Amino acid sequence: MSIDLRSDTVTRPSEAMREAAADAPVGDDVYGEDPSVNELEAAAAERVGTEDALYVPTGTMGNQIAARVHADRGEEVLLDRKSHIYCWELGGLAQLSGIQPRPVDADEAVPTPAQIDEAYVEADLHRAGTGLLALENTHNGRGGVAVPPDRIAAAAEAAHDRGVPVHLDGARLFNACVALDVDPARMVRDVDSVLFCLSKGLGAPVGSILAGDEDFVEEARRVRKLLGGGMRQAGMIAAPGLLALDNVERLAVDHENAAALASGLDALDGVRAADPDTNIVQVFTDDLGVRAETFAEACEARGVLGGHHGPYLTRFCTHLDVTREDVDDAVDLISDVVTELSA
């Protein structure tokens, strides 16, 4: 069996989650009558301290709904060049909502107030204007960076000063909260909407939460229906999501495993591994002169799955289904790969 470190999306639901799915009381959620979905939405809103929350099938749909609710057609979304919304959602802003991205290089994962001031566009006869600032925490493309709440607040303030709403793609929000020991409600206090996934490190089989104030969620519910995300007896997939909320504290284990993996790999000749904030380990093989695609293939042949995310950047991700023993084994196996590739 391979050690699967491609992503925390590969986690499988526990027995308890499977039982919760089988036993879930259900109703038609489009009519607002699914008790399990209603319970999950209430628990999720309470967890992040928002007025309301909406269960959505995926993180991608949640982000796209949020952008559409906040921004009008033609308007710009200010975001980081390496953000998930910009890089990995099929140009959904443009395809689905006629919104155009305005990327900036947020080297520290979140645009600075100065970058926001500079990239902001005032609407006039020639320009559609900035309709949204989209942030990401943890920041996947920059290596699972956990952004502290004061930096989120500073960015949000710069946007709000100009009347621009703020959405937080917190697919891994709880990884950031656990890594920085920050209450989730504090982390999202300054943004207007937040998306977080139940299906990644938290281990639910399906589903994400989009949270905000009542007006936002009411409109988000309509857009979810428009995009085909109004589900009927969704309690069967929402019930495991409630149990996923109990898995927040254990994310610290994934972070410890990631740190062990990074230090083990960084000790190998020709390999550099960035010190991870959370559960994502970025490994660079330029000193080895081996491209990431080749490196990832060689790792796979030895039984360790990762992903190539740049010319010389391979990503390994720890999660619920990876033990410390797996991590130690992975380091040994990758050490053999490095020896083989250096020969």
Ligand X SMILES: Cc1ncc(COP(=O)(O)O)c(C=O)c1O
Q: If you search the block for the tokens 């929402």, which residue do you land on?
A: 238
Residue from 64, 208, 247, 257 in contact with ligand X (CB under 6 A): 208
Residue from 58, 100, 263, 335 in contact with ligand X (CB under 6 A): 58
Strands 130-136 and 76-80: parallel
Q: Which residues pair with 166 in a beta bridge?
A: 133
User: Which of 64-79 are b and which e, b meaning 16 or more Cβ less than 10 Å from the residue's Cβ?
Assistant: bbbbbbbbeeebbbbb
Residue from 41, 76, 169, 192 in contact with ligand X (CB under 6 A): 169
Query: Is-contact 175 252, C-beta < 8 A?
Result: no
Please name the amino acid found at residue 289. Answer: G
Q: How far is the CB of 170 from ligand X (least distance, A)?
A: 8
By CB under 6 A, what part of segment 7-46 binds ligand X? 9
Nearer to ligand X, 140 or 279 (CB): 140
Stretch binding ligand X (CB under 6 A), from 58-66, 249-257, 278-286, 287-295: 58-66
HSE at residue 132, side-chain half, CA atoms within 13 A, is 31
Q: How far is the CB of 83 from ligand X (least distance, A)?
A: 7
Query: Is-contact 308 285, C-beta < 8 A?
Result: no
**Residues 6 or more apart whose Cβ sits within 8 Å of residue 270:** 285, 287, 288, 289, 338, 342
Q: How far is the CB of 172 from ligand X (least distance, A)?
A: 6
Nearer to ligand X, 131 or 170 (CB): 170
What does the alpha-carbon distance between residue 341 and residue 262 come to, in Å, rounded to a whole number?
19
Nearer to ligand X, 2 or 58 (CB): 58
Stretch binding ligand X (CB under 6 A), from 21-29, 57-65, 177-185, 263-271: 57-65
Tell whether residue 59 is a contact of ligand X (CB under 6 A): yes
By CB under 6 A, what part of segment 242-281 binds ligand X? none
Nearer to ligand X, 23 or 107 (CB): 107
What does the alpha-carbon distance between residue 203 and residue 186 come to, in Å, rounded to a whole number?
24
Give me 180's structure tokens.
């920085």
Number of residues that bind ligand X (CB under 6 A): 13
Q: Residue 139 carries which DSSP code?
A: B
What does the alpha-carbon distance between residue 294 and residue 306 come to, in Å, rounded to a whole number?
11
**E strands along 43-176, which residues?**
52-56, 76-80, 100-104, 130-136, 166-169
Q: How far is the CB of 91 from ligand X (least distance, A)?
A: 14
Nearer to ligand X, 145 or 288 (CB): 145
Nearer to ligand X, 97 or 208 (CB): 208
Tell whether residue 84 is a contact of ligand X (CB under 6 A): yes
Tell whether residue 221 is a contact of ligand X (CB under 6 A): no
By CB under 6 A, what part of segment 120-149 binds ligand X? 136, 140
Q: How far is the CB of 7 from ligand X (least distance, A)?
A: 6
Stretch binding ligand X (CB under 6 A), from 16-24, 55-63, 228-236, 245-253: 55-63
Q: Residue 295 carries which DSSP code?
A: H
Instruction: Give the long-range contacts of residues 283-286, CB within 8 A, separation 24 or more.
Output: 283/313, 283/314, 283/315, 283/316, 284/312, 284/313, 285/312, 285/314, 286/311, 286/312
State the residues that interact with ligand X by CB under 6 A: 9, 58-60, 63, 84, 136, 140, 169, 171, 197, 199, 208
